[in-house]
Amino acid sequence: MKPRFLLGARADVPFLLGWCALIHLGQEMKRTSCHVVRVAYGRWDDPMTPFLRKILGLNWVLVLVMYGLLIFGVMMIESAARHVSIPKDMLTQFGSAGAYFTSKQKTFILIGSVAYFSAAFVDYRWIRWLGIPFYVVSLALMVIAMKQDDSVHQLKVAGFSFQPAQLGITAGILLIAWLVQDLPKIHRLFAAPFVRIGIIGLIAAVPFLMVMKMGDMGSALVWIPVAIVALLIGGIPFRHLTCMAFLGAGILPLLYFVVLPLVSKRGPERIDVWLRMVNGREVDISGDAYAPHNVSMAVGKAGWKGVGWKATAEMGSLHDKGFIPRDTAHNDYIFAVIAEELGFRGSLLLLTAFALLLIQGLFIAFYSRDVLGRLLVCLIIALFFAHVFESIGMCVLLMPITGIPLPLISYSGTFVVICMFLLGLVQSVWIHRHHQYVTPLKPAET
């Protein structure tokens, strides 16, 4: 039955005009909705390019906190490294050892900035393919480092020295996140809890044992929280995790008294000194307990304001007097220098910045679009938390001395670049959280 206004009556002209207006409005709404969808995915008539959209979509809180920590670290390196011995020509060129190490740190920050934004703007689903080659190369480099007569097991490439253990944990994080998500798509057997536990355990155990064999207990211990978080986020049932926790507690004495002395010579000694100091027993503060005693004293005597930045011995600085080991004050013990010179308020500001960085990472993990992104962010946050907890904890006797840098703060060369690359991956998860692989829409016909 035709509408009443199509019968040709002159009185129905207003109804005819209204009907045409509704049809035109519907066509405009359809065209507008298509335009909105195209804009959402950056297609055709989108005035913004995808690259500009990624720049505007950055998590600026993460960017500002990261660069705030880096700037703070550069300032503290200048004070902490002022007593380090450097060649005379470098001393003449830069004026002081602190300025020399500060200049080198700025160079690494510039390189790290390139790595950060490159990782941030590239979809992390493409970067995951670097997991296997990075992992194999890092294991090969660790084997080469173990054969060298170097106490810190560093390698030099193109004038830059780095520890392959740091590259190993980065590759391990990429590989674990990738395999835990994609292997179950190949066969449902890989989704079984015991298979996932085996994959995570194997990927983490190989570099862990190699780093322990090199004597770098600090870099090895960070694998423990990373592996635990991988099991939690990887979907392992709670009953399996409980069973593993009881088994781990049962074999802990065997690991401490039998395995640890075999893979690390200094590890048992440092743990024994730490346990004696915690329990109030007598230790040799001029021998094995020299560093933990004086470092904790520097933190404890600082008070609210501290002794001041670049304080001298006359101002009561233990660092200037040489009680904090000068060769490692700008990397391993930099928190002791920060606490002594800036006091409790400076330490509290630093801890607040790190807490904001970690919480922001958890926020990004919550909004991840897949398991791969969630695992990547959570493992990176676990790595940062382990470094912060160990580095600060050993300065206040919460942890034994392990010799581990404070992320983004310590002078650690290529480790700064690796940290910024990992935070770039976190940023990539945030930028690409809404990205969908969809079939392009065709323009609406006019």
Decide if pLDDT at 79 tops 80: yes
Residue 77 has a pLDDT of 94
Residue 49, CA distances (Å) to 8, 40, 46, 415, 427 in order: 52, 12, 7, 33, 19
Looking at per-residue pLDDT, the higher value among 160 and 378 belongs to 378
**Model confidence at 352, in pLDDT bands (50, 70, 90)?**
very high
Averaged over 166-186, what is the pLDDT? 89
Amino acid at 46: D
- What is the maximal distance between C-alpha atoms in the chain? 110
**For 41-87, where are the alpha helices, taking DSSP H only?**
50-56, 60-80
Nearest Cα to 207, choosing from 142, 160, 259? 142
Predicted local distance difference test score (pLDDT) of residue 388: 95
Give the side-chain half-sphere CA count within 13 A for 64.
Answer: 5
SS3 label, residue 160: strand
Of residues 221 and 30, more confidently modeled: 221
**pLDDT value of position 446:** 44
Q: Is the pLDDT of residue 7 over 50?
A: no
DSSP 3-state of 124 = helix
User: Given this model, what pLDDT does residue 34 score?
Assistant: 42
Q: In 154-289, which residue ranges form alpha helices assigned H by DSSP?
A: 164-186, 193-213, 217-221, 223-233, 238-254, 260-263, 266-278
pLDDT of residue 69: 96
Cα separation, 109 vs 74, in Å, equals 10
Q: Which two tokens stand for residue 14?
A: 């207003």
Show the tokens assigned to 392: 């600060």
158 against 49, higher pLDDT: 49
- Residue 35: strand pairing partners: none
For residue 74, the model assigns a pLDDT of 94
Residue from 358, 343, 300, 307 nearest 69 by CA: 358
Instruction: State mean pLDDT over 234-239.
Output: 88
Which residue is associated with the tokens 């703007």? 121
Q: Rounded to an integer, what distance in angstroms lies between the CA atom of residue 427 and that of residue 157?
A: 28
- C-alpha 438: how far from chain center: 31
Amino acid at 18: G
Mean pLDDT of 295-322: 88
- What confidence score (pLDDT) does residue 47 get? 54
Q: Bigger pLDDT: 398 or 13?
A: 398
Over range 260-276, report the average pLDDT.
Answer: 82
Query: What does the alpha-carbon distance between residue 351 and residue 342 come to, in Å, rounded to a whole number?
Result: 13
User: Which of the four pLDDT bands, split at 50, 70 and 90, describes residue 112?
Assistant: very high
- Mean pLDDT in residue range 245-253: 88
Residue 70 to residue 72: CA distance in whole angstroms: 5
Residue 403 exposure: Cα atoms within 13 Å on the Cβ side: 13
Whether residue 347 is predicted with pLDDT greater than 60 in this model: the reply is yes
Contact 399/267 with Cβ under 8 angstroms?
no
pLDDT tops 90 at residue 436: no
Least confident of 254-263, 284-293, 308-317, 423-432: 254-263
Mean pLDDT over residues 186-194, rounded? 85
Q: Can you give the pTM of this predicted structure?
A: 0.84
- Over residues 221-232, mean pLDDT: 91
Which pLDDT band, with edges at 50, 70 and 90, does 234 fall under? Answer: confident
> Looking at residue 412, what is its pLDDT?
82
The least confident of 138-147, 167-176, 429-438 is 429-438
Q: Dihedrals φ, ψ of 161, to 5°?
A: -105, 140
Identify the band that residue 438 occupies on the pLDDT scale cut at 50, 70 and 90: very low
**For range 18-32, the mean pLDDT:** 50
Nearest to 291 by CA among 313, 262, 266: 266
Mean pLDDT of the chain, nearest integer: 83
CA angle at residue 325 from 323 to 327, to 5 degrees?
Answer: 145
Residue 33 confidence (pLDDT) = 41
20-34, 41-55, 160-174: which has the highest mean pLDDT?
A: 160-174
Residue 48, pLDDT score: 60
**What sign results for the dihedral spanned by CA atoms 23, 25, 31, 37?**
negative
Count the alpha carbons within 13 Å of 111 in the hemisphere toward its beta carbon. Answer: 14
pLDDT of residue 158: 63
pLDDT at 1 over 50: no
Of the listed ranges 216-220, 245-249, 250-254, the one predicted with least confidence: 216-220
Gap between the Cα atoms of 103 and 109, Å rounded: 10
Cα–Cα distance measured from residue 331 to residue 101, given in angstroms and rounded to the nearest whole number:
11
Residue 440 has pLDDT above 60, yes or no: no
Give the number of other CB atoms < 10 A from CB of residue 429.
27
The arithmetic mean of pLDDT across residues 213-226, rounded, is 84
pLDDT computed for residue 49 by the predictor: 72
Of all residues in the chain, what percent carry a pLDDT higher than 70?
A: 85
Query: In this predicted structure, what is the pLDDT of residue 18?
Result: 57
Mean pLDDT of 160-168: 79
**pLDDT in the model for residue 268:** 82
Q: Is the CB of residue 362 less than 8 Å from the CB of residue 426?
A: no
CA-closest candidate to residue 340, choices 286, 314, 290, 301: 301
